Structure 1
Amino acid sequence: MTNVYSLDGILVFGLLFVCTCAYLKKVPRINGWLLSEKRGVWGVFYKAAVIGTRLHIAVAISCLATSFYVLFLK
Structure 2
Amino acid sequence: MTNVYSFDGIVVFGLLLICTCAYLKKVPRINHWLLSEKKGVWGVFYKAAVIGTRLHIPVALSCFFMAFYVMFLK
User: Normalising TM by the smaller chain, what interval?
Assistant: over 0.9
Identify the residue that residue 24 of structure 1 maps to in structure 2: 24
Give the C-alpha shift of residue 31 in structure 1. 0.2
Segments of 5+ residues of structure 2 without an aligned counterpart are none
**Counterpart of 1:61?**
61
| Matching residue of 1:47 | 47
How far off its partner does 1:32 sit?
Answer: 0.4
Structure 1, unaligned runs of 5 or more? none
Aligned-residue sequence identity (percent) comes to 82
RMSD: 0.2
* TM-score computed with the length of structure 2 as normaliser: 0.99
> Structure 1 residue 15: deviation in Å?
0.2
Please state how far the C-alpha of 1:17 moved relative to its aligned partner. Answer: 0.3
| Alpha-carbon shift at residue 10 of structure 1 (Å) | 0.2
* Distance in 2 separating the partners of 1:73 and 1:33: 39
TM-score (norm 1): 0.99
Residue type of the partner of 1:3?
N
* Regions of 4+ moved over 4 Å: none
1:44 corresponds to which letter in structure 2? V
